[in-house]
Amino acid sequence: GRLCEKGGTATSEGGMTSMELIRGGDDLTMVRIVPPQTKTFAFEATKGAYLFSIDVSGSMNAAAEVQQEDGDKVNHGWSQLDIAKHSTNTFVTSLEDDDLVCIITYSDGATTLLDWTRCDSAGKEKAMEAIASMKPERSTNLMAGLTNAYDAFSRVPIAAGTLSQYALNIIITTDGMPSAQWNPARGKNGYKPLVRTLSKAAEKRAGVAGRITLTSIGLGCKLDSELLAGMSDQFLHMPDPGSVGPFMVNLLAALRCTARLPTKDGVVASHATLVVSPRSALAGPLPGYGAADPAEGEAAQVALGWIGYDQPRHVLLPLVRGSPAITVSLHVSGTTVASASSADAVAANEEQARRVAAQLLRLKTVDALGEIVVRSPAGIPSPQATPLTNLLEACERSIAKAEPDVEALVATLQQEAVLALKPPEPGDSSVYSIWGAHYFRTFRLMLLAERRSNFRDQALQHFGKDADGQEGVFEEQSNEAETAFATMKAPEPSLLVQPGAPAALGVPVAVGGSAPCAPAPVLPAEFMRGGGCFAPETLVTALGADGAPRRVPIDAVGPGDALLAADGSVARVRCVVVTPCAGGRVMLTRMPCGLELTEWHPVLDGAAGGAPRWRFPLLLGRRVIRRCAAVHNLLLDRAHALEVTGPEGGAGRVAPTLAHGLQGEVVGHAFWGSAAVVDMLREQPGWEEGRVVLLDQAAAEPTLVHEAARAVPATA
């Protein structure tokens, strides 16, 4: 299942950039660009100058709720601004001494909270203080937030001769729509030309190396993603607090792995362009990219944007049959870093033909999703499913349908895109208007850039690997950022009121709108980092009296039952722990395999062929709100890890049980992973019988849970 083209494969020996052309069917020629491969040289993360422009308008004080398709909501007392703070902290924490950060907020106007600062320990501390100081204000002057952000790069403390070594980035975060009184003269349609003007001014001031990448982050679901995606190089939609970790971890990894071309000592490839000459050889729009723009002389150009280390990029050129030979070149900051001629193109063998077909399906997906959002920007008129239906049929007919990346693409379309187009019940808002349109805009941009933005969408999980399909520096950077996120204290919830009914252990209360919520010291502590609970229908493997294995739901497991542990041994159940869900509702994470469990219950993940490691479900699945009387966990006499799966069976995940004793930054926990939790359970009614029901969480949590967790680090 390696995702590389064999036979005539371009290489990057010695860290060089290379390009090859492969002739496929239907007059399509595939351009394959192989950036420097980090296994051939000592990698150093690309230095960056990062400017965060944060919306602090009054609406950012709204609750950062999780909304299910049926309208149910839940919140933990965090506002949208709290989430903006947390996302910015997640990013800044993982930067290095040579990186630079600047923090601006905007409301009626824009304010520089922290001018350009090196990200050494003292600089990070200043950045954290600036982030913590943000308070909600009044209106949303997005134009001021943009203008001041671009202007700040006029004073960035980087010597002109070394500017090409830095990735220059503006990351603008907002919860919705700009206030009309602050819009450009052309209203919301004026933001794209405004950004173009600001970008050209920055480039004129500092040269081609001074071009800045704009990433917009949309928080929640009441936002104009059409505007944000249209004006930005990249758009990320974070629908709820659970999106912060996966999106910021992957954004950080991508930007720090921005390639320098043609070698590691070259220029930063934030804005790469593919030039094709003569343009008369192009038969029409390029799949995924649309019509090429005219370039100097008789050439045409296609904006590729960001190129990262290791990850090959693929472009399909529809050529006029019988056209003369073409020359294709890759340009970065005015420098030609690789080129190839169709005269040297290789005809696709059988395997390469499947790879060309797979890339065509990826790019057709970009076009199909683009067609849907153009025809229905926000749900009116209702989106049409025909482009998606036709795409899935094309996948089924394709010679590439059994390719791993195509199977992953189809799975994502069926699990996510089809859901996004689900017709609403009478009187309800559509999934598309709440979430789907925003999701489509982010997903298509990631497919086009061949870039991973989260750990959930299967179609994105193979991105970031090298030309041989092996994990590289992107995964290393992602892992480091994920560890920082998992152990970082979040901002204090700013919307806390007096707690109402106590929430169940590891379970927030689902409500029909903003509601009282109990305080929690981290984001969120109630999900028991290193502990956690399972949905009642979670399947485990039990051994009958005859020793035969059978799958049973965890709520049918009793004390003394024999279970097959993840290591193949037999473990006995010492105690069943049941936690009732307040109001009969619960928010869980649903994994792609159908398994549902609390967000911070570690699972062993080996997705996309990577080395298995412990990860939080929060980063891998989707939040769901559902009816549930109680969630469950087990205390075993040995082994302390089970393979668990959803009610439909199939491939599952390994997850620890209580007092597991496992060590590590994600799975280890000094309370839930140790004998301390056993001591707590011994004091509960039902211990002698082997079944504990944790009813009085309000009394148990402060003394038995939070105090024990505070006494030692959250991770071992």
With 0-12 / 13-18 / 19 or more C-beta atoms within 10 angstroms meaning exposed / middle / buried, residue 354 is: buried
Whole-number percent of the chain with pLDDT over 90:
66
Band (491; pLDDT cuts 50, 70, 90): low
Helix (H, G, I), strand (E, B) or coil at 711: helix
Q: How confident is the model over 25-66, as pLDDT tens digits?
A: 878 999 999 999 999 888 899 999 999 999 999 999 988 876
- Output b/e per residue, 571-595; b: 16+ Cβ within 10 A: bebbbbbbbbbbeebbbbbbbbbbb
- Higher local confidence (pLDDT), 283 or 524: 283
Q: Which residues pair with 331 in a beta bridge?
A: 273, 336
- The pLDDT of residue 74 is 61
What are residue 662's phi and psi, to 5 degrees?
A: -75, 150
- The pLDDT of residue 554 is 96
Which tokens is 309 given?
């280390």
- Answer yes or no: is pLDDT of 707 > 80: no
Q: How many angstroms separate the CA atoms of 532 and 348, rounded?
A: 50
Helix (H, G, I), strand (E, B) or coil at 148: helix
Average pLDDT, stretch 563-589?
Answer: 90
Q: How confident is the model over 381-428, as pLDDT tens digits?
A: 999 999 999 999 999 999 999 999 999 999 999 999 999 999 988 888
- The pLDDT of residue 490 is 67
Sign of the Cα torsion 508, 509, 515, 519 reads negative
- Answer yes or no: is pLDDT of 716 > 50: no
Band (529; pLDDT cuts 50, 70, 90): very low
Average pLDDT, stretch 141-157?
Answer: 97
Helices vs. strands in the chain: H and E counts, helices first: 16, 32
- The pLDDT of residue 509 is 34
Band (713; pLDDT cuts 50, 70, 90): very low
- The pLDDT of residue 498 is 38
- The pLDDT of residue 72 is 57
Which tokens is 654 given?
């390994």
- Answer yes or no: is pLDDT of 249 > 60: yes
- The pLDDT of residue 219 is 92
- The pLDDT of residue 344 is 92
- Output b/e per residue, 154-177; b: 16+ Cβ within 10 A: eebebeeeebbbbbbbbbbbbbbb
Q: How many angstroms separate the CA atoms of 310 and 20, rounded?
A: 16
Instruction: Confirm if 485 and 665 have CB atoms less than 8 A apart.
Output: no
Domain segments of the chain: what residues? 18-35+272-283+294-305+310-346, 45-266+471-493, 349-470, 539-693
Q: How confident is the model over 312-346, as pLDDT tens digits?
A: 999 999 999 988 899 999 999 888 999 999 999 99
- Answer yes or no: is pLDDT of 506 > 90: no
Instruction: Confirm if 462 and 408 have CB atoms less than 8 A apart.
Output: yes
For residue 550, CA distances in Å to 386, 640, 690 come to 42, 19, 22
- Answer yes or no: is pLDDT of 298 > 90: yes
The mean pLDDT of the chain is: 86
The alpha helices in 191-262, defined as continuous H runs, are 191-206, 225-231, 244-256
Which tokens is 85 given?
């703070």
Amino acid at 306: W
Which tokens is 109 given?
């106007």
- The pLDDT of residue 382 is 93
The reported pTM is 0.82
Average pLDDT, stretch 598-608?
Answer: 82
- Answer yes or no: is pLDDT of 546 > 60: yes
Nearest to 460 by CA among 236, 650, 302, 261: 236
Just give the CATH number of 539-693: 2.170.16
45-266+471-493 placed in CATH 3.40.50.410: yes
Whole-number percent of the chain with pLDDT over 70:
88
- The pLDDT of residue 712 is 31
Band (429; pLDDT cuts 50, 70, 90): confident
Which tokens is 526 given?
């109630």
- Answer yes or no: is pLDDT of 242 > 80: no
Q: How confident is the model over 446-486, as pLDDT tens digits?
A: 999 999 999 889 999 999 999 999 999 999 999 888 888 87
- Answer yes or no: is pLDDT of 192 > 80: yes
- Planar angle of CA 398, 400, 402, nearest 5 degrees: 110
Q: How confident is the model over 625-669, as pLDDT tens digits?
A: 788 889 999 999 998 999 999 998 777 899 999 999 988 878 888
Band (241; pLDDT cuts 50, 70, 90): confident
- Answer yes or no: is pLDDT of 5 > 90: no
Q: Which helix (H) or strand (E) holds 386?
A: helix 386-397
